[in-house]
C-alpha cells in the first residue's frame, strides 16, 4: 500500500474538488446543512477548523515533516475525524455510512503507510519529485477525471453508497487510463492501490 490516502485526501481531492470556479461544492454543503440540520452557516462556523486542517500542509517543509504530522501526531486522521463528525450532522439517512466508510479507509491505509518511516519518506519524495507531478500532469489528470464525473451539486444529490462506489470506480478507471499514457508507474500505483481500498470497503456490509 502506498501513500494515496495522504496525497489524494490532501492534494488530489482538495485540488480536484476546486475545479468549479463558482464554489459549487461549498454551496452544496452549506445548503445541505441548512436543509437537514438548520445550520445555515455551517461553512462559516467551521472555517477555522477547515482552514487549520488544510493550511498545515502548506507549512510542512519536508517529507519527514509529513511523516511526523501523519504518523506520529495523527494530524491528518484527527482533522478528518473532526470535520466528518461535524458534517455528519448534515447528512440524510442514506449517507450516514460515510463517516465510518472514509475513516476506516484512512485508518487502514495510514497504518500501512506509516509502518516504515524510511519507506514513507522515500515514497513521499519520489511522488513529489516525479516529472508527472512537477509538470502538473498528475493534477491535470485528476481535475479532468473529476470533471468527467458530471456531478450536479443540487439539493437532490444524495451520496448513497452505490453512487459513491460507482463514482470511485469511474474516477479510478479514468485516472489509470490517463496516468498510464502520461506518467510513471509510481503515480499509477499510487492511485490504483489507494482507490482499491475504498472499493474494497464498497463490498463490505459493515460500512
- Which residues in the chain show pLDDT less than 70? 1-23, 185-186, 190, 194, 205-207
Q: What is the pLDDT of residue 124?
A: 83
- The cell numbers describing 188, all together, are 499509477
Q: What is the pLDDT of residue 166?
A: 93
- The cell numbers describing 157, all together, are 444529490
What secondary structure, in 3-state letters, does 76-117 show?
A: HHHHHHHHHHHHHHHCCHHHCCHHHHHHHHHHHHHHHHCCCH
Q: What is the pLDDT of residue 206?
A: 62
Contact (CB, 8 A) for 36 and 91: yes
Q: What is the pLDDT of residue 44?
A: 76
Contact (CB, 8 A) for 11 and 197: no
Q: What is the pLDDT of residue 122?
A: 87
DSSP 159: -
Q: What is the pLDDT of residue 6?
A: 42
Would you say the pTM of this structure is higher than 0.85?
A: no
Contact (CB, 8 A) for 66 and 126: no
Amino acid at each position: 500500500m502506498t501513500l494515496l490516502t495522504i496525497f489524494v485526501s490532501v492534494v488530489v481531492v482538495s485540488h480536484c474538488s476546486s475545479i468549479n470556479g463558482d464554489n459549487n461544492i461549498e454551496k452544496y454543503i452549506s445548503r445541505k446543512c441548512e436543509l437537514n440540520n438548520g445550520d445555515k452557516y455551517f461553512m462559516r462556523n467551521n472555517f477555522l477548523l477547515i482552514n487549520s486542517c488544510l493550511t498545515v500542509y502548506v507549512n510542512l517543509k519536508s517529507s519527514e515533516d509529513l511523516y511526523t504530522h501523519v504518523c506520529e501526531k495523527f494530524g491528518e486522521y484527527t482533522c478528518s475525524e473532526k470535520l466528518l463528525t461535524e458534517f455528519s450532522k448534515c447528512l440524510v439517512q442514506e449517507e450516514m455510512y460515510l463517516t465510518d466508510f472514509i475513516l476506516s479507509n484512512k485508518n487502514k491505509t495510514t497504518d500501512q503507510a506509516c509502518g516504515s518511516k524510511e519507506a514513507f519518506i522515500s515514497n513521499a519524495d519520489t511522488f513529489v519529485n516525479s516529472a508527472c507531478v512537477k509538470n502538473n500532469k498528475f493534477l491535470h489528470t485528476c481535475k479532468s477525471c473529476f470533471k468527467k464525473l458530471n456531478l450536479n451539486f443540487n439539493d437532490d444529490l444524495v451520496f448513497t453508497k452505490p453512487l459513491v462506489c460507482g463514482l470511485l470506480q469511474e474516477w479510478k478507471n479514468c485516472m489509470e487510463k490517463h496516468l498510464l499514457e502520461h506518467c510513471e508507474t509510481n503515480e499509477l500505483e499510487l492511485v490504483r492501490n489507494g482507490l482499491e481500498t475504498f472499493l474494497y470497503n464498497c463490498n463490505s456490509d459493515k460500512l
